[in-house]
Structure 1
Amino acid sequence: MTGEVRNIHDALASFTEHWQPRRLVSINDYDVKVVKVQGEFTWHSHPETDELFLVISGELVIQLRAGDVTLGPGDVYVVPRGVEHCPRADGEVAAILIEPQGTVNTGDTPSARTAQLRELD
């Protein structure tokens, strides 16, 4: 996908499913993903990697055992590798995730919310 212009808003408008990330682009060994979320996710961690959240719209709460982090549009937060967390959104949130290629959305805790990374249509 190098050399191709991708629009974040067009990408987000192309799907409606929650907790089903889509690859926007890849850079080196990382995927830049767009995702829509609503409700509570699964408590999990990523033992091998940090996870970056960038909120485009809505309000996202990253629940941590040490206390919650609340993100609004334009806010960025990095969950350090190995830190257990559980994203939650009371209303719909659009976000970008940046993670190494092959990172599973539920990390070390497979659940009904575990998703295969999808390509944009």
Structure 2
Amino acid sequence: MSTQPLDLRAVLAGFDAPWSPRIVTTVNDYDIRLARFSGEHVWHKHDNTDEFFLVLDGSIEIGLREADGERTVTLTREQAFVVPRGTFHKPSSKEGAVVLLVEPSGTLSVGDEHEEVPDTVDVTVGHRV
């Protein structure tokens, strides 16, 4: 863990791949990840953890499969949302976005259960910067 301030602009300048999160720091047992969203991710769920999304730039949609059907949550800049554990969800961004994610260290980007992963999605636990 660094004892210096984090420059998120510098982190963003270091990568342009969508759906390939960068771990900017760790707080206790949680990774703080920075990711670019563009196009569609994959339907997936995390069995044992919630997933926190904070949109820093752009806008995203998160499709949710819930007990009473599917719905979509739209988030714009400076809006946050938590997907509850065990909920199938599919993030996407038509125009592109920058998103800060908070998840337990070691959480796979496509969850514990997922549909077929397209080549545009990096299956990873995050890339440390």
- State the TM-score, normalized to the length of structure 1: 0.93
For structure 1, list consecutive stretches of 5 or more residues without a partner in the other structure: none
Q: Relative to 1, partners in 2 of residues 1:116 and 1:48: Cα closer, same or farther, differing over 3 Å? A: closer
For structure 2, list consecutive stretches of 5 or more residues without a partner in the other structure: none
Give, in whole Å, the separation in 2 of the partners of 1:46 and 1:81.
6
Give, in whole Å, the separation in 1 of the partners of 2:33 and 2:15.
13
Q: Tell me the amino acid that sits aligned with residue 22 of structure 1.
A: R
Give, in whole Å, the separation in 2 of the partners of 1:8 and 1:91.
20
Counterpart position of 1:22? 22
**Of 93, 103, 111, which residue of structure 2 is paired with 1:99?**
103
List structure 1 segments (4+ residues) > 6 angstroms apart after TM superposition: none
SS state of the match for residue 44, structure 2?
coil
Q: Pairwise CA RMSD of aligned residues? A: 1.3
Give, in whole Å, the separation in 2 of the partners of 1:41 and 1:25.
23
Q: Is residue 119 from structure 1 mapped to residue 125 from structure 2 by the alignment? A: no
Identity %: 36
**Of 71, 78, 85, which residue of structure 2 is paired with 1:67?**
71
Give, in whole Å, the separation in 1 of the partners of 2:51 and 2:63.
14
- State the TM-score, normalized to the length of structure 2: 0.87
Give, in whole Å, the separation in 2 of the partners of 1:61 and 1:117.
21
Report how many residues are paired. Answer: 120
Deviations 1:80-113 (A, max 9, x none): 0000000010011101000000000000227342
